[in-house]
Structure 1
Amino acid sequence: MPPKTLHPPWPPAVVQGVANVLASTDWPGLTNSEITQLLAMLGIADVEAPNKRTRLWTALHNQQLRDQASNCVIRFITEAMAPGRHLQDQPRFEALRDALAEPLALVGLRVNEQGKLARGRATATTLDEVAQLAGRLRTELRRRGVHAEVVRYCEEELLRRSLFHAVFEATKGVSERLRQMTGLTADGADLVDQCFGARSGTPLVRINAYRTDSEISEHRGFANLLKGTFGTFRNPPAHTPRATAGWTITEPDALDLFSLLSLIHRRLDGAQVVARP
């Protein structure tokens, strides 16, 4: 039987990054019982710790120090990502795989479709390279400084890497924010008209002082931008099943839309809601 290949130890920060993903407090992190089972199966000494992430990080780090090799970390990831463990929850597999892309990019690895570690395109040495190699939506959104309101409305869809539904929910979030600001119950173009129209002399929502011709023109342009955004990115997904080929969106287009929605939310941050008599 050939001797087992020993892989060089990983930097402690990378091991900690892996532990933070696999033992994250919320979905899709492993449960305490799952961690217990995997550590026992792999012969990795368990430890007592105040939380799951510290427990897994300490156990893997200690074992790596004893072995002077990263084999224990590689085996733990491989077992945790075994497809058979995720038969009833494939989105969890994809979410974990997606989240592991960041720390693994720092050692030039990735989790492939079989749940095994494979060579990445390159080894990242900077945070920008991590984002590029990982190809994660959430990483890119953070890098772009996307407004928190955009992410708030599509958090689960981003975790599941569902572009179709993330775009839909993020765009719907603008309507929901306008309803919360004004107390109105309308939707879509009707909501925009009720918020930004000037039938009664003064718009209910103003993004500027609304005095000069230039300010009025900007205000109307913003209202048209909202209508165009709803018509392009919210209405088609609302009426098109995801499985059909009638409406699709690429990742670059989705990222650009999230940046546009960020601009819209930033303008709403400074908008005034005019009290009705």
Structure 2
Amino acid sequence: MKIFEPLEAGVIEGISKTLGETNKGLSGTEIEKFLAEARIADCDPIITKWKRLYNAFVNYQNKNKNSNNILTFINKSMSPARFVGKNEQFEDIRFELNKYLSFSGLKLKENGKFTSTDSTSTISEAEQKANRFKSKLQQRNTHEKIYEYCKAELLAENYFHSVFEAVKSIAETIRQKTGLNHDGSELIELAFSIKNPLITINKLSNETEESEHKGFANLIKGVFGMFRNTAAHAPKITWEINETDALDIMSTVSLIHRKLE
């Protein structure tokens, strides 16, 4: 059996606080169960949950000079079978755990198992390795253009600028396909003209297909008007985008790019 090096005290504290978090973490009963299954002594069962875990983990590690059973505890408590129907909760916890595990060269995968990774030494490196926003985009099979145009913003989980850059990618793709140098509504009207279209999403052979074509052009105009133009003129502090909104906007941009192909 592979022997894993002891975890740093800060890493153990971060893991304990994540797993013992009041709303999304383990219950007291679950902590008792998984400590027993991982063969870790429950040395302070009546104190705060995260401190209970921290003391149990530190006590085990001091005696055994390895982190094996601590990792076993994480494996058992993060078994995907426990989170059926609660995928967002699973990903939120996994994201937080991976921030701390990355300092020890470990990563918890979607299957609840560990894999080796390059260890990190700074907070920003840990944040980038555990990037939750990008992971959620990948789960949605988001179009590759999204990552091409807003890589830095995604790594920083900057939702405001990620949306801005992603929406700008639509106009740039249309210009590349048509050779036009216009922008905004004028670009869309020229590119998707019914009489002389430079881009079509169907054969425009009947009224239904013409309506679909016009609807797609109006969708792009709406995305520009609501997300690109607003983001360009409104300061971030007054036009806040949360993660859910950003994911939905990115999915719309992804749909547009698939249609453009």
TM range (shorter): 0.5 to 0.7
Q: Which residue of structure 2 aligns with residue 249 of structure 1?
A: 241
The percent identity for this pair of structures is 42
TM alignment of 1:71-150, pairs within 5 A: 105=94, 108=97, 110-111=99-100, 126-127=110-111, 136-150=132-146
Q: Structure 1 residues 268, 127: closer, same or farther in 2, change over 3 A? A: farther
Cα deviation, 1:227-263, whole Å, max 9, x if unaligned, reads: 0011111001101122x32x11110010011111111
Q: Which residue of structure 1 aligns with residue 66 of structure 2?
A: 69
Q: Structure 1 residues 107, 215: closer, same or farther in 2, change over 3 A? A: closer
**Matched residue count:** 161
Question: Using the alignment, how far apart are the partners of 1:235 and 1:164 within structure 2?
Answer: 12
Question: Using the alignment, how far apart are the partners of 1:169 and 1:106 within structure 2?
Answer: 24
Unaligned runs of 5+ in 2: 6-63, 69-90, 115-129
**Could you say what secondary structure the match of 2:185 adopts?**
helix
**Could you say what secondary structure the match of 1:228 adopts?**
helix
Structure 1 stretches of at least 4 aligned residues deviating more than 3 Å after TM superposition: 104-112, 123-130
Question: Using the alignment, how far apart are the partners of 1:232 and 1:111 within structure 2?
Answer: 38
Indicate whether 1:224 and 2:218 are aligned: yes
Question: Using the alignment, how far apart are the partners of 1:129 and 1:174 within structure 2?
Answer: 38
Structure having the larger proportion of residues in helix = 2
**Could you say what secondary structure the match of 2:254 adopts?**
helix
Contact 1:107 1:124 in 2 (8 A): no
Unaligned runs of 5+ in 1: 1-7, 11-66, 72-101, 118-122, 270-277
1:182 alignment partner, one of 146, 158, 178: 178
Cα deviation, 1:155-196, whole Å, max 9, x if unaligned, reads: 110011111110000000000000000110111111111101
Q: Which residue of structure 2 aligns with residue 165 of structure 1?
A: 161
Question: Using the alignment, how far apart are the partners of 1:129 and 1:231 within structure 2?
Answer: 44
Indicate whether 1:235 and 2:229 are aligned: yes
Question: Using the alignment, how far apart are the partners of 2:96 and 2:133 within structure 1?
Answer: 20
Contact 2:131 2:157 in 1 (8 A): no
Amino acid at match of 1:234: R
Deviation at 1:202, TM superposition (A): 2.6
Question: Using the alignment, how far apart are the partners of 1:106 and 1:155 within structure 2?
Answer: 19
Question: Using the alignment, how far apart are the partners of 2:98 and 2:167 within structure 1?
Answer: 34
Question: Using the alignment, how far apart are the partners of 1:128 and 1:202 within structure 2?
Answer: 54
Q: Structure 1 residues 125, 184: closer, same or farther in 2, change over 3 A? A: closer
Q: Structure 1 residues 70, 157: closer, same or farther in 2, change over 3 A? A: same
Question: Using the alignment, how far apart are the partners of 2:258 and 2:229 within structure 1?
Answer: 23
Q: Which residue of structure 2 aligns with residue 259 of structure 1?
A: 251
**Could you say what secondary structure the match of 2:241 adopts?**
coil
**Could you say what secondary structure the match of 2:202 adopts?**
coil
Q: Which residue of structure 2 aligns with residue 9 of structure 1?
A: 4
Coordinate RMSD, CA, aligned: 3.4
Amino acid at match of 1:105: R
Contact 1:9 1:68 in 2 (8 A): no
With normalisation by structure 2, the TM-score equals 0.54
